[in-house]
């Protein structure tokens, strides 16, 4: 905590997480309780992260939020309000808990383009507030109420969000299942197909899926519990083939659910370039006679490719060959390949 001129201030950074078992659908909209458990890999925060400063002072007259340099109206942001109210309620700092708070948050990557910006943003906000207001105990359930996937960014490495059973959401929390150094050499390539804001938000898309998709019911009840077991075992044994196969099946099923949603989510999150990437990965894996690359897509067209370090050079040159960056090839424009270095 930095203190100057009656202002107490904390700055934190929080990383993005990539879901390998997907969260899609809530059983309780208010508390953000998911239909199924999910599992993710937290990226190194040196690469994609949110950076948030929270400041508190007796001189501030209202709560304020600046997001990527633009002032937002907190009165229109119920989830931010809820986070602030919960953190104030749990605060052990009697002198500061009733003061107004200023929040300044910045992402070093495109916001709302399916790159999990809300996950990094809310986890960062909750963590920074916990330091400022002295809040102890599990913070993931508070981050969850900002944005579901944010609870998983509270930890590094491999993280499970347990769906929980309690009606009040008290057991719907994130837990680290393996640390960040558990699987040396595992890398993710992020292919930014389009960095613009997507059409349908995840929140709206998954709400419509819950209301209309029979496939989602089947998936959350019968597929995910089994896949969680398979994935945890694959991670624990560092079994890339099983990890890769389950990751791709999960991505495929998420986007099948989006298609099964009525009316289907339009435009679809995955575009023509996304499907070309799937095709390239499939052909390459077939050519190798084993799974060397796994793709996964969230609520946007950008691809996340899991690859072992030894294969990075070959795979990134293959991608650069078929999807050259900064060339105008119609729908393949402005693609950028970034590699996660550790």
Q: Which residues bind ligand 2P0 (CB under 6 A)?
A: 19, 22-24, 32, 38, 118, 147-149, 202-203, 254, 298-299
Least distance (Å) from ligand 2P0 to the CB of residue 200? 11
| Beta carbons of 265 and 204 less than 8 angstroms apart | no
Tokens of 157: 């490495």
Least distance (Å) from ligand 2P0 to the CB of residue 193? 15
Task: Report the first-to-last Cα separation within the chain, whole angstroms.
Answer: 29
Nearer to ligand 2P0, 79 or 102 (CB): 79
Question: What does the buried/exposed string (b/e) look like for 154-184 if buried means 16 or more CB atoms within 10 Å of the residue's CB?
Answer: bbbbbbbbbbbeeeebeebbbebbbebeebe
Least distance (Å) from ligand 2P0 to the CB of residue 24? 6
Nearer to ligand 2P0, 98 or 138 (CB): 138
Least distance (Å) from ligand 2P0 to the CB of residue 202? 4
Q: How far apart are CA 235 and CA 223, in angstroms?
A: 18
Kindly report the backbone phi and psi dihedral angles of residue 69, in degrees, each rounded to the nearest multiple of 5, phi listed first. 85, -5
Q: Determine the 3-state secondary structure of 69 from DSSP.
A: coil
Least distance (Å) from ligand 2P0 to the CB of residue 324? 28
Nearer to ligand 2P0, 130 or 296 (CB): 296
Tokens of 49: 């992260």
How many other C-beta atoms lie within 10 A of the C-beta of residue 263?
7
Nearer to ligand 2P0, 47 or 314 (CB): 47
| Beta carbons of 183 and 20 less than 8 angstroms apart | no
Kindly report the backbone phi and psi dihedral angles of residue 195, in degrees, each rounded to the nearest multiple of 5, phi listed first. -100, 10
Least distance (Å) from ligand 2P0 to the CB of residue 145? 9
3-state secondary structure 85-140: HHHHHHCCCCCCCCCEEEEEEEECCCCCCCCCHHHHHHHHHHHHHHHHHCCCCCCH
Nearer to ligand 2P0, 253 or 316 (CB): 253
* Residue whose C-beta lies closest to ligand 2P0: 148
Least distance (Å) from ligand 2P0 to the CB of residue 305? 16
Nearer to ligand 2P0, 7 or 74 (CB): 74
Quickly list DSSP for 311-322. Answer: GHHHHHHHHHHH
Q: How far apart are CA 300 and CA 289, in angstroms?
A: 29
Nearer to ligand 2P0, 27 or 88 (CB): 27
Nearer to ligand 2P0, 203 or 282 (CB): 203
H or E segment to which residue 186 belongs: strand 186-192
Least distance (Å) from ligand 2P0 to the CB of residue 247? 12
How many other C-beta atoms lie within 10 A of the C-beta of residue 266?
11
Nearer to ligand 2P0, 22 or 141 (CB): 22
DSSP state of 330: T
Tokens of 99: 């003061």
DSSP state of 199: S
Least distance (Å) from ligand 2P0 to the CB of residue 116? 6
């Amino acid at each position: 905590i930095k203190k100057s001129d009656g202002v107490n201030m904390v700055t934190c950074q929080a990383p993005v997480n990539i879901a390998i078992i997907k969260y899609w659908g809530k059983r309780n909209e208010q508390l953000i309780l998911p239909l199924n458990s999910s599992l993710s890999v937290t990226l190194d925060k040196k690469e994609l992260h949110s950076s948030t400063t929270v400041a508190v002072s007796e001189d501030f007259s209202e709560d304020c939020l600046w997001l990527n340099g633009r002032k937002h109206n907190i009165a229109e942001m119920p989830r931010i309000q809820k986070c602030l109210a919960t953190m104030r309620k749990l605060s052990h700092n009697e002198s500061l808990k009733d003061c107004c708070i200023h929040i300044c948050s910045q992402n070093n990557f495109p916001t709302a383009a399916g790159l999990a910006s809300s996950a990094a943003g809310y986890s960062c906000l909750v963590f920074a507030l916990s330091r400022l207001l002295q809040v102890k105990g599990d913070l993931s359930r508070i981050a969850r109420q900002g944005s579901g996937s944010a609870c998983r960014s509270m930890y590094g490495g491999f993280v499970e969000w347990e769906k929980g059973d309690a009606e009040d959401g008290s057991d719907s929390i994130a837990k680290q299942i393996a640390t960040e150094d558990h699987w040396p050499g595992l890398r993710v390539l992020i292919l930014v197909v389009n960095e613009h804001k997507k059409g349908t938000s995840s929140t709206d898309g998954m709400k419509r899926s819950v209301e209309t998709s029979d496939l989602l019911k089947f998936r959350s009840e019968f597929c995910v519990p089994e896949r969680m077991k398979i994935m945890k075992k694959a991670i624990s044994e560092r079994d890339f083939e099983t990890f890769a196969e389950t990751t791709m099946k999960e991505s495929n099923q998420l986007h099948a659910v989006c298609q099964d949603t009525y009316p289907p989510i339009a435009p679809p999150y995955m575009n023509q370039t996304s499907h070309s990437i799937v095709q390239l990965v499939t052909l390459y894996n077939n050519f190798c006679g084993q799974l060397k690359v796994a793709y996964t897509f969230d609520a946007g067209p950008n691809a996340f490719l899991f690859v072992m370090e030894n294969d990075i050079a070959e795979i990134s040159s293959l991608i650069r060959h078929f999807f050259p960056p900064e060339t105008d090839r119609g729908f393949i424009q402005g693609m950028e390949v970034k590699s996660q270095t550790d």
